[in-house]
């Protein structure tokens, strides 16, 4: 290895005068190397942030300090402040030559309302001689951080970065760096490389990535091993940056975003990001990177101890220093922080032979549970005899999960067909919810390490979600399963499991509990066992329905023989539209063929009522649906999915739990299909991917294949033979099919479901949630209609907003959109064909709110607790409920509805401003109701008299162009 001032990759190609000049310029430098902005919310009841700008400066041959009369911190809301000059703090740990220092500035700022704000800092100049941009010394240094304040998403702070953004590298040696980022709110983080900015949305001049060919004399072999070109990348999950390997010696600047994401329901929202500007100082050195040996990623149950040893080694046997960075070391003592030892100082190195050690210890607690793992970043630095130190970073993922809930008892109430469940108080009382899951016949499943929550493929149904504590703060430990008031299915054995869920934004779940089982329940009514599709057709379809006699019935009270009535409804679940389809006369058979129906498009469900020979009514079976099969086209593949709503389990543990896959050519009927494969649904769920496994014959694109599956299940009752075999309908698809189905007519909302605002004003003032229902029609084109297998529904909050998918593969021609924050929403619908292609979106239909805002014309601010403030009409202070009789009808009509912001000004009779107010929905301080106390902006009481006001009210409306209303009026202030 040859030592020279231009790095290892320049030995091969020689020295150029241009690079000599660039390197010489480095000594004339001033002055900003790197930095970031962090914003901490003071508390969740205010919009005040503590904002800190931290920079890393060059101190060599310059006396320029951070801050000054050109150095502007912009809060993103129209307000700015000049940052004063701030002295440097030399950081020998970042560069032993003393050329790197830090400085910071902290200020408090309060925003007037919720929103997204870009906080930025701009200062001339970067330090001179940065290789991968032009004229760095004349280039403005720019940082930005984005914060979001949104009551819907909750309180938020920006990510924190623990590891400084200055690092040393050796030419020709692969380099890594990790910022040690974490989010104090528990939000998920991602990372992306950016181009450094000189101003907002303005890239520095002629930026080059550090692995640009410009910096190498032999680019094709520029990586550390000399086997390929150099690479430069960031791991989007861990944030580790890798440069394999640096070329020309000198200083490089890069930028990256640390993006925070928050989960709300099933959707992820971007909350903001920190944009870090970083500098890498490359030198030529005779050194090899040290290395770390860290434990494998792990999960630990809250309340247990995690101990580990981290080892450090060095190929050159140099001394090393191991450091650890993570939020878990920064927890306050009351929150049981993790510890490590030794904790090295700047010059505390230890021998690497035998391997250096760092001991990790953490007494985990319930407060540490969260959905995302903790990242512990380990950094090892070597200490060569000469030249720069090299470092290596490695990241250890630690996920803290809640312990599994523990059952106490389960008792069956035979008379009501209910189950009374009881469990121990949950170990982590800081959890938020307890999920109760149920399945016919249960499962022997035990979760793997880190496998939290309830796996979808097990077939358990979420039947309820309870709080961890009641309103008095006492643990909730009981639940009665009534099956939504219908009673549990006769003949079935039921098993239950629990999962604890922790509050957002940190989130997290427990391991699932063990099974606890009851039953089988007495079969004193018919036990439906089969709903199998015998023939698939649009009009001549046939379903075979079978059931067992009520073998546990009291034959004295209900003497046989029994006659039966068969009820049918369209859809998976029985509704109010069930019709009696029993043949004329006394029907005593236990099998029925339902003929001349549309089994191509429709799912049907059936239930059976039984009557004794003395006319006594025994009861009605649980409802069971046919099996519905779907197919989705892929390139040379077809994916199958199927489902059924039945009182038995199609994922049973007492039988080889495989469903069978049948296939045939286009036009095939049931008898033509042949068995090609099976699926273990206990582990794979109700899904199968046909990639041509059968006979090793690949699928042919644009050739149609038709499928049918046999589901196999059981009640978990030894007196009911299993498996219960039920066939789906036939469905056809072709791999490689990319032709979308036809476009639908726009959805039309039923006139019965339109929001009548006058009626709404009479009934409601404030609601917790809202719902819309939309309807659409099937295509009249027979060819198009036969190709459609479902519908996708898309929604947008406002006209002009982008539409996003809110429901997939809807079977019906209507959709109920519930749990909304308001009525305001636009919808489009698209057909989905049998190959999974999505058609063109329909035209939109929009539903709007019923906004209202009214102000009174008199108030008496005399501290008699009656009419003391000038306030918009509302039902605040009434405690008799939304529909309580204590709320006057006139007040209910006038109360404020769907208001987002209010800008309010008061003028005296000479037209002078005396009072100004800005209110916003969700604000704890400035609400939309104004609540003016009759004082002017200086806090002085105004005299009695008539005053004039203008209120600009912004409503939550689907049409942004008409969501603002200006209200002008007068008010009589009486003292």
The answer, yes or no, to whether residue 317 has pLDDT greater than 90, is yes
How large is the average pLDDT for residues 631-642?
90
Residue 744 lies in a domain: no
List phi, psi (to 5°) of 939.
90, 10
DSSP of 448-515, one letter per residue?
PTT--S--GGG--EEEEEEESB-TTSPBP-EEEE-TTTT-PPTT--EEEEEEEEPPTTT--BBPPPPP
Measure the CA–CA gap between 404 and 408, rounded to whole angstroms: 13
Q: What letters, b where the CB count within 10 A reaches 16 and e where it falls short, cover 128-159?
A: bbbbbbeebbebbbbbbbbbbbbeebeebbbb
pLDDT given at position 16: 38
> SS3 sequence, 864-893?
CCCCCCECCCCCCCCCCCCCCCCCCHHHHH
pLDDT given at position 396: 96
- Strands of 111-266, DSSP E: 115-123, 141-149, 160-161, 166-170, 175-177, 181-182, 188-194, 197-199, 202-203, 231-234, 241-244, 250-264
pLDDT tens per residue, range 899-915: 989 999 999 999 999 99
Measure the CA–CA gap between 897 and 851, rounded to whole angstroms: 5
| Boundary (domain end) residue, out of 496, 518, 540 | 518
pTM here is: 0.74
- Under DSSP, the state recorded for 863 is S
Count CA atoms within 13 Å of residue 111 on its CB side: 29
Residues 869, 965 within the same domain: yes
How large is the average pLDDT for residues 849-859?
93
* Stronger pLDDT, 511 or 739, i.e. the higher one: 511
- Under DSSP, the state recorded for 539 is S
pLDDT given at position 944: 94
pLDDT given at position 754: 56
Residues 633, 619 within the same domain: no
Q: What letters, b where the CB count within 10 A reaches 16 and e where it falls short, cover 602-621?
A: bbbbbbbbbbbeeeeebbbb
Residue 778 lies in a domain: yes
692 class by beta-carbon count within 10 Å (0-12 exposed, 13-18 middle, 19+ buried): middle
CATH of the domain at 803: 2.60.40.10
Residue 570, SS3 per DSSP: strand
Residues 17, 99 within the same domain: yes
pLDDT given at position 6: 39
Residue 729 lies in a domain: yes
* Stronger pLDDT, 635 or 180, i.e. the higher one: 180
pLDDT given at position 755: 65
Residues 780, 702 within the same domain: no
DSSP of 234-269, one letter per residue?
E-TTT--EEEE---SSEEEEEEEEEEEEEEETTEEE
Residue 743 lies in a domain: no
The answer, yes or no, to whether residue 789 has pLDDT greater than 50, is yes
**Cβ-based neighbour number of residue 887 at 10 Å:** 16
pLDDT given at position 740: 86
Q: What percent of the chain clears pLDDT 70, i.e. is strictly above it?
A: 95
Residues 221, 75 within the same domain: yes
Are the C-beta atoms of residues 857 and 972 closer than 8 Å to each other?
yes
- Under DSSP, the state recorded for 622 is P
How large is the average pLDDT for residues 336-364?
94
Residue 340, SS3 per DSSP: strand
Residue-range definition of the domain harbouring residue 945 = 858-973
Measure the CA–CA gap between 951 and 937, rounded to whole angstroms: 16
pLDDT given at position 573: 85
pLDDT given at position 614: 95
How large is the average pLDDT for residues 618-638?
93
pLDDT tens per residue, range 87-111: 888 888 888 888 889 999 999 999 9
| Boundary (domain end) residue, out of 492, 518, 544 | 518
Measure the CA–CA gap between 82 and 72, rounded to whole angstroms: 5
- State how many domains the chain has: 7
Residue 779 lies in a domain: yes
pLDDT given at position 223: 95
**Cβ-based neighbour number of residue 575 at 10 Å:** 11
Residue 665 lies in a domain: yes
Q: Which of 601, 606, 598, 592 is nearest to 540 (CA)?
A: 598
- Greatest mean pLDDT among 148-157, 710-719, 845-854 lies in 710-719
Residues 723, 755 within the same domain: no
Q: What percent of the chain clears pLDDT 90, i.e. is strictly above it?
A: 67
* Stronger pLDDT, 480 or 21, i.e. the higher one: 480
Give, for 903, the enclosing helix (H) or strand (E). strand 899-907
Q: Which of 34, 32, 31 is nearest to 274 (CA)?
A: 34
Interior angle at CA 528, CA 523 and CA 533, nearest 5: 170
The answer, yes or no, to whether residue 27 has pLDDT greater than 60, is no
Q: For residue 12, give both structure tokens.
A: 């091969």
List phi, psi (to 5°) of 404.
-65, 135
Count CA atoms within 13 Å of residue 10 on its CB side: 22
Residues 839, 938 within the same domain: no
**Cβ-based neighbour number of residue 384 at 10 Å:** 18
Can you say how many angstroms the Cα of residue 356 is from the centroid of all Cα atoms in its chain? 41
- Greatest mean pLDDT among 107-116, 518-527, 802-811 lies in 518-527
Residues 127, 242 within the same domain: yes
pLDDT given at position 885: 63
pLDDT given at position 811: 81
φ/ψ region of 71 (left if φ > 0, alpha if ψ in -120 to 50, else beta) reads beta
Residue 274, SS3 per DSSP: strand
- Greatest mean pLDDT among 49-63, 376-390, 523-537 lies in 523-537
Residue 532 lies in a domain: yes
24 class by beta-carbon count within 10 Å (0-12 exposed, 13-18 middle, 19+ buried): exposed
How large is the average pLDDT for residues 240-268?
93
Measure the CA–CA gap between 96 and 184, rounded to whole angstroms: 32
Residue 588 lies in a domain: yes
Residue 687, SS3 per DSSP: strand
Residues 460, 577 within the same domain: no
Which residues lie below 8 Å from residue 578, measured CB to CB, with a gap of 6+? 567, 568, 569, 607
pLDDT given at position 880: 61
CATH of the domain at 355: 2.60.40
Residue 695, SS3 per DSSP: helix
Measure the CA–CA gap between 691 and 635, rounded to whole angstroms: 9
pLDDT tens per residue, range 52-64: 999 999 888 777 8
pLDDT tens per residue, range 115-135: 899 999 999 888 889 999 999
How large is the average pLDDT for residues 762-779?
80
Least confident span in 394-403, 460-469, 761-770, 889-898: 761-770
**Dihedral angle sign, alpha carbons of residues 510, 511, 517, 523:** positive
Are the C-beta atoms of residues 543 and 569 closer than 8 Å to each other?
no
User: CA dihedral in degrees (301, 370, 481, 650; nearest 10)?
Assistant: -80
Are the C-beta atoms of residues 456 and 462 closer than 8 Å to each other?
no
Residues 104, 228 within the same domain: yes
| Boundary (domain end) residue, out of 600, 625, 650 | 625
**Cβ-based neighbour number of residue 583 at 10 Å:** 10
The answer, yes or no, to whether residue 654 has pLDDT greater than 80, is no
pLDDT given at position 346: 81
Residues 365, 486 within the same domain: no
Measure the CA–CA gap between 886 and 735, rounded to whole angstroms: 65
Q: For residue 641, give both structure tokens.
A: 């999915």
Residue 147, SS3 per DSSP: strand
pLDDT tens per residue, range 596-608: 999 998 999 999 9
User: CA dihedral in degrees (122, 123, 127, 133; nearest 10)?
Assistant: 40
The answer, yes or no, to whether residue 749 has pLDDT greater than 70, is no
Average pLDDT, the chain: 89
Interior angle at CA 740, CA 737 and CA 744, nearest 5: 155
How large is the average pLDDT for residues 279-304?
94
Measure the CA–CA gap between 704 and 697, rounded to whole angstroms: 15
Are the C-beta atoms of residues 103 and 34 closer than 8 Å to each other?
no
pLDDT given at position 377: 95
DSSP-derived pairing of the beta strands 705-713 and 724-727: antiparallel
Residues 910, 953 within the same domain: yes
């Amino acid at each position: 290895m040859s030592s020279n001032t231009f790095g290892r990759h320049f030995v091969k190609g020689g020295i150029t005068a241009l690079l000599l000049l660039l390197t010489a310029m480095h000594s004339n430098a001033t002055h900003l190397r790197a930095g970031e902005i962090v914003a901490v919310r003071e508390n969740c009841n205010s919009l005040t942030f503590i904002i800190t700008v931290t920079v890393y400066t060059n101190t060599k041959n310059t006396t320029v300090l951070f801050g000054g009369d050109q150095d502007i911190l912009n809060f993103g809301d129209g307000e700015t402040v000049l940052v004063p000059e701030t002295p440097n703090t030399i950081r020998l740990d970042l560069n032993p030559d003393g050329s790197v220092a830090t400085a910071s500035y902290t200020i408090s700022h309060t925003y007037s309302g919720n929103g997204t704000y870009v906080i930025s800092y701009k200062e001339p100049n970067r330090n001179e001689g940065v290789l991968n941009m032009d004229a760095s010394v004349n280039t403005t240094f720019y940082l930005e951080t984005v914060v979001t304040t949104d009551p819907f998403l909750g309180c938020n702070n920006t990510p924190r970065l623990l590891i400084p953004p200055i690092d040393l590298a050796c030419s020709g040696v692969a380099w890594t760096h990790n910022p040690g980022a974490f989010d104090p709110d528990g939000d998920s983080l991602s990372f992306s490389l950016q181009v450094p900015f000189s101003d907002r949305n303005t890239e520095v001049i002629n930026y080059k990535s550090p692995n640009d060919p410009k910096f190498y004399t032999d680019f094709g072999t520029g990586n550390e091993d000399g086997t390929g070109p150099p690479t430069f990348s960031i791991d989007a999950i861990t944030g580790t940056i890798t440069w394999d390997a640096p070329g020309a010696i000198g200083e490089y600047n890069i930028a990256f975003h640390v993006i925070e994401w928050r989960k709300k329901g099933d959707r992820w929202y971007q909350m903001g990001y920190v944009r870090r500007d970083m500098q890498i100082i490359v030198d030529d050195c005779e050194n090899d990177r040290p290395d770390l040996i860290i434990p494998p990623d792990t999960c630990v149950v809250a309340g247990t101890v995690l101990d580990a040893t981290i080892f450090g080694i060095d190929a050159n046997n140099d001394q090393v220093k191991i450091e650890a960075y993570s939020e878990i070391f920064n927890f306050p003592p009351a929150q049981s922080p993790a510890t490590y030892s030794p904790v090295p100082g700047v010059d505390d190195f230890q021998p690497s032979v035998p391997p250096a050690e760092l001991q990790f210890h953490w007494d985990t607690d319930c407060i540490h549970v969260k959905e995302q793992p903790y990242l512990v970043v380990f950094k090892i630095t070597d200490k060569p005899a000469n030249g720069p130190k090299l470092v290596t970073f490695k990241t250890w993922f630690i996920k803290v999960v809640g312990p599994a809930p523990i059952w106490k008892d389960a008792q069956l109430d035979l008379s009501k067909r209910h189950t009374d469940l009881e469990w121990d108080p949950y170990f982590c009382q800081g959890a938020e919810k307890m999920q109760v899951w149920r399945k016919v016949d249960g499962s022997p499943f035990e979760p793997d390490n880190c496998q939290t929550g309830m796996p979808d493929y097990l077939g358990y149904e979420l039947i309820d979600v309870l709080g961890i504590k009641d309103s008095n703060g006492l643990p909730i430990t009981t639940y009665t399963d009534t099956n939504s008031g219908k009673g549990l299915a006769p003949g079935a054995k039921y098993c239950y499991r629990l999962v604890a869920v922790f509050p957002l934004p940190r989130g997290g779940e427990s391991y699932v509990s063990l099974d606890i089982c009851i039953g089988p329940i007495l079969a004193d009514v018919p036990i439906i066992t089969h709903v199998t599709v015998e023939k698939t057709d649009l009009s001549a379809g046939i379903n075979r329905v079978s059931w067992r006699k009520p073998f546990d019935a009291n034959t004295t009270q209900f003497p046989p023989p029994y006659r039966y009535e068969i009820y049918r409804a369209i859809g998976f679940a029985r509704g109010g539209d069930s019709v009696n389809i029993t043949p004329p006369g006394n029907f005593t058979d236990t099998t029925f063929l339902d003929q001349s129906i549309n089994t191509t498009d429709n799912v049907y469900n059936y239930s059976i009522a039984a009557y004794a020979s003395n006319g006594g009514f025994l009861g009605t079976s649980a409802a069971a649906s046919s099996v519905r099969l779907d197919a989705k086209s892929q390139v040379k593949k077809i994916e199958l999915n199927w489902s059924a709503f039945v009182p038995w389990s199609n994922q049973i543990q007492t039988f080889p739990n495989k469903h069978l896959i049948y296939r045939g050519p286009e036009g095939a009927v049931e008898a033509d299909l042949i068995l090609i494969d099976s699926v273990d649904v206990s582990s794979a769920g109700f899904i199968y991917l046909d990639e041509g496994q059968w006979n090793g014959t690949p699928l042919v694109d644009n050739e149609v294949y038709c499928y049918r599956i046999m589901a196999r299940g059981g009640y978990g009752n030894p007196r009911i033979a299993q498996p219960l075999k039920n066939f789906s309908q036939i469905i056809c698809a072709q791999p490689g099919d990319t032709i979308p189905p036809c476009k639908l007519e726009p959805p039309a909302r039923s006139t019965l479901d339109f929001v009548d605002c006058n009626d709404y004003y009479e009934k409601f003032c404030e609601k917790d949630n809202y719902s819309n229902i939309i309807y659409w029609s099937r295509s009249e084109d027979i060819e198009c209609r036969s190709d459609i297998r479902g519908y996708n529904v898309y929604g947008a909050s406002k006209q002009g907003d982008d539409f996003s998918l809110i429901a997939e593969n809807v079977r019906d021609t209507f959709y109920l959109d519930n749990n909304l924050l308001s009525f305001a929403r636009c919808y489009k619908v698209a057909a989905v064909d049998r190959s999974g292609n999505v058609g063109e979106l329909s035209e939109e239909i929009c539903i709007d709110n019923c906004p209202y805002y009214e102000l009174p014309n008199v108030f008496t601010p005399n501290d008699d607790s009656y009419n003391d403030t000038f306030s918009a009409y509302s039902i605040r202070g009434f405690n008799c409920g939304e529909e309580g009789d204590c709320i006057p009808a006139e007040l209910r009509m006038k109360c404020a509805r769907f208001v987002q912001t209010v800008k309010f000004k008061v003028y005296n009779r000479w037209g002078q401003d005396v009072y100004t107010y800005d209110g916003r929905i969700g604000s704890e301080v400035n609400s939309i109701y104004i609540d003016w106390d009759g004082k002017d902006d200086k806090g002085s009481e105004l005299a009695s008299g008539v005053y004039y006001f203008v209120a600009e009210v912004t409503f939550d409306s689907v049409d942004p162009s008409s969501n603002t209303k200006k209200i002008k009026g007068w008010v009589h202030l009486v003292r």
